[in-house]
Amino acid sequence: MARAQLQPREDREIYEVPLEVRPEHIDDNGHVNNVVYVGWLQDAGTAHWNARFDTDTRSKWSWVGVRHEIDYFRPLMPDATGVKARTWVGEPQGPRFNRYVRIEDAEGRLCAQGVTEWVLVDAATMRPHRIPATMLPVFEAPQGNP
């Protein structure tokens, strides 16, 4: 059954992360291994968080990925360049956010997409904590420029 392609939300900031296909990413089938994609989902979310929040905030809070779901559309080959992840967040649900990621080739074609369920935790206690209302606006698209 064909999966619907994720489309970025107009009300959310779309954060882009360049990705590098390395020789060690290539599996016995001659393309990027599935495990690498899971790492890329995590890397994209972490990069977005680190880019938007200061050191004090990042030392108080941490995120734990509790679920990953990935759909593959086209393989990334060993010579792939210009690969990028585009990521955005969904609606907060208590301590949880779904983060969406599209992995695209240099031509902007969708190669894979994923959803990671992240849980916000207190960095000192590692206990889940409701996402503060002040956190969501940081992930929203600038007015008039989604």
CATH number of domain containing 27: 3.10.129.10
In a domain, 6, yes or no: no
- Entry field: residues in the chain: 146
Beta bridge partners of 104: 84, 110
Mean pLDDT of 83-87: 98
Mean pLDDT of 53-62: 96
In a domain, 5, yes or no: no
pLDDT at residue 128 above 70? yes
How many domains does the structure of the chain reveal? 1
The domain in which residue 101 lies consists of: 15-139
CB atoms within 10 A of CB 76: 22
Share of the chain above pLDDT 70, in %: 96
In a domain, 54, yes or no: yes
In a domain, 74, yes or no: yes
Looking at residue 2, what is its pLDDT? Answer: 62
pLDDT at residue 143 above 80? no
pLDDT at residue 144 above 80? no
Enter the pTM of the model.
0.92
In a domain, 8, yes or no: no
Contact 99, 119 (CB under 8 A): no
In a domain, 125, yes or no: yes
In a domain, 84, yes or no: yes
Contact 15, 47 (CB under 8 A): yes
In a domain, 3, yes or no: no
